[in-house]
């Protein structure tokens, strides 16, 4: 060691004494030319900037020039902080020619996790220069100083709208769709149909996500307002996010409360134009048989003009048309009082529908005698019909058939009435068979 030091001192003295010959003498002791990157320390007069007499090349000597790496190691950031126990010269040797790049490494095999930032997700396949865009003073690729913040590489499409770090909502797996971790419940809970709506439906401008008055349905649905502004902008009073047709409208707060069968009727039954126009105009249903309600059709006024001037609710209720609440013994009624078996008979048994109009007219019927028309007149009517059938041989004769006190059909069963050709005969037989079933 003493000899090496002594030789170095002698050589140094010679270089200082004869500087013009330093280059020639340097070629005698140098192992080779320095890399062009170290060109600024070329020559024997600069040897001690890297070579410490008696200690060789130390990390401290390298750090005197490479201040950025020194700072990274001190802050425990970057690749060099993970290998700070090694000597710089183990990876960065020199004196191998002007074109030597000082470091030999395979970018594809480099373990990026040692640099303090693991490449996962979409970052795995990104080219190094996409993130490491700086160059050294010598104009070569630099790999120091890259920032971890997303905005250092990625354009902020939100234009500073959000102050939170990008990773609050996004991940390295992707920017959009299922990879977005944004908790919408903290700003506006997405439930019902809203849960499946594409972001762009409510946020049409790229990168802009703050929506003014987001709590108001009209902010997004105003153009699709089928009510044409008739019902205001507080859609939530009648609708739910589960579906538009899940109606919350409280009809009891209007002038007409829905009761009984009316509760089950669809809106369009009364608001006939609403399906096409969406406008639920106030209908003037001050009477049951008002136009557009119970004025025609299956549930229309089947009484014709019989009860003109009287209100339907006098006999009917919203619970249903039948049974009628009409009282045969009510105040002001002077007709036939229903007693005994009569009280159990259905209205249609006595008040039959008109064969032509099908209207059931509940006008007073003849009740002076029990066998009046359409009442207990079967014996009288059928007697005449059965005599005609007997003459034609369409009804079996029985003993005593000529006795007028006993109807010809007495004791006759339905199966005894034969079916024979002839329109008139068939009609008579049908009448007799009908009566026999009573």
Lookup result for tokens 């060789």: 56
Q: What is the pLDDT of residues 306-339, one digit of tens each?
A: 777 788 888 888 888 877 888 787 776 777 888 8
> Could you please report the per-residue DSSP string of 306-318?
TTTTS-GGGT-BT
Lookup result for tokens 């499946």: 196
Q: What is the pLDDT of residues 247-260, one digit of tens each?
A: 888 888 888 888 99
Q: What is the pLDDT of residues 18-57, one digit of tens each?
A: 455 444 455 556 788 898 888 888 888 888 888 988 888 9
pTM value is: 0.44
Does 435 have pLDDT greater than 70?
A: no
Identify whether the C-beta of residue 140 lies closer than 8 Å to the C-beta of residue 126: no
Which has the minimum average pLDDT: 92-106, 122-136, 334-348, 370-384?
370-384
Q: How far apart are CA 289 and CA 292, in angstroms?
A: 8
* HEC readout, 75-117: CCCCHHHHCCCCCHHHCCCCCCCCCCCCCCCCCCCCCHHHHCC
Percent of the chain with pLDDT over 70: 76
Does 407 have pLDDT greater than 60?
A: no
Question: pLDDT averaged over the chain?
Answer: 76
Beta bridge partners of 243: 240
For residue 25, cis peptide bond before it (omega within 30 degrees of 0):
no
> Could you please report the per-residue DSSP string of 221-277?
HGGG-TTTTTT-S-GGGT-BTTBTTS----GGGSSS---GGGGGS-HHHHSTTHHHH
Give pLDDT, residue 415: 44
Which has the minimum average pLDDT: 113-127, 339-353, 355-369, 387-401?
387-401
């Amino acid at each position: 060691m003493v000899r090496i030091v002594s030789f170095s001192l002698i050589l140094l003295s010679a270089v200082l004494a004869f500087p013009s010959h330093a280059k020639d003498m340097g070629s005698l002791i140098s192992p080779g030319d320095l890399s062009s990157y170290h060109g600024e320390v070329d020559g024997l007069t600069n040897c001690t900037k890297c070579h410490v007499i008696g200690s060789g090349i130390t990390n401290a000597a390298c750090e005197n020039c490479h201040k950025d790496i020194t700072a990274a190691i001190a802050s425990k950031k970057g690749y060099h902080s993970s290998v700070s126990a090694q000597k710089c010269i183990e990876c960065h040797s020199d004196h191998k020619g002007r074109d030597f790049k000082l470091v030999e490494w395979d970018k594809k095999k480099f373990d990026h996790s040692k640099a303090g930032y693991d490449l996962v997700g979409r970052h795995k396949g990104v080219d190094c220069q996409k993130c490491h865009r700086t160059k050294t003073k010598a104009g070569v690729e630099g790999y120091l100083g890259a920032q971890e913040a997303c905005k250092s590489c990625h354009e902020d499409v939100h234009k500073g709208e959000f102050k939170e770090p990008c990773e609050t909502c996004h991940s390295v797996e992707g920017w959009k769709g299922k990879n977005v971790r944004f908790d919408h419940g903290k700003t506006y809970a997405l439930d019902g149909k809203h849960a499946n709506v594409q972001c762009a439906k409510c946020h049409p401008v790229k990168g802009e996500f703050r929506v003014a008055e987001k709590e108001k349905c009209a902010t997004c649905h105003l153009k699709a307002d089928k009510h044409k502004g008739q019902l205001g902008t507080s859609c939530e009073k009648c609708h739910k996010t589960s579906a538009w047709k899940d109606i919350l409208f409280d009809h009891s707060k209007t002038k007409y409360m829905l009761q009984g069968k009316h509760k089950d009727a669809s809106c369009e039954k009364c608001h006939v134009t609403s399906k096409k126009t969406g406008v639920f105009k106030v209908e003037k249903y001050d009477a049951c048989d008002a136009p557009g309600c119970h004025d025609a059709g299956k549930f229309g006024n089947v009484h014709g003009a019989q009860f003109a001037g009287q209100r339907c609710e006098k006999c009917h209720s919203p619970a249903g048309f039948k049974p009628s609440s009409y009282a045969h013994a009510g105040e002001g009624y002077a007709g036939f009082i229903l007693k005994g078996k009569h009280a159990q008979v259905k209205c249609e048994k006595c008040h039959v529908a008109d064969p032509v109009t099908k209207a059931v007219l509940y006008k007073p019927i003849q009740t002076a005698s029990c066998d009046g028309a359409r009442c207990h007149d079967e014996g009288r009517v059928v007697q005449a019909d059965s005599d005609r059938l007997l003459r034609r041989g369409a009804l079996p004769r029985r003993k005593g058939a000529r006795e007028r006190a006993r109807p010809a059909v007495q004791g006759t069963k339905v199966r005894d009435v034969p079916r024979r050709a002839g329109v008139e005969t068939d009609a008579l037989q049908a009448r007799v068979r009908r009566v026999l079933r009573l």
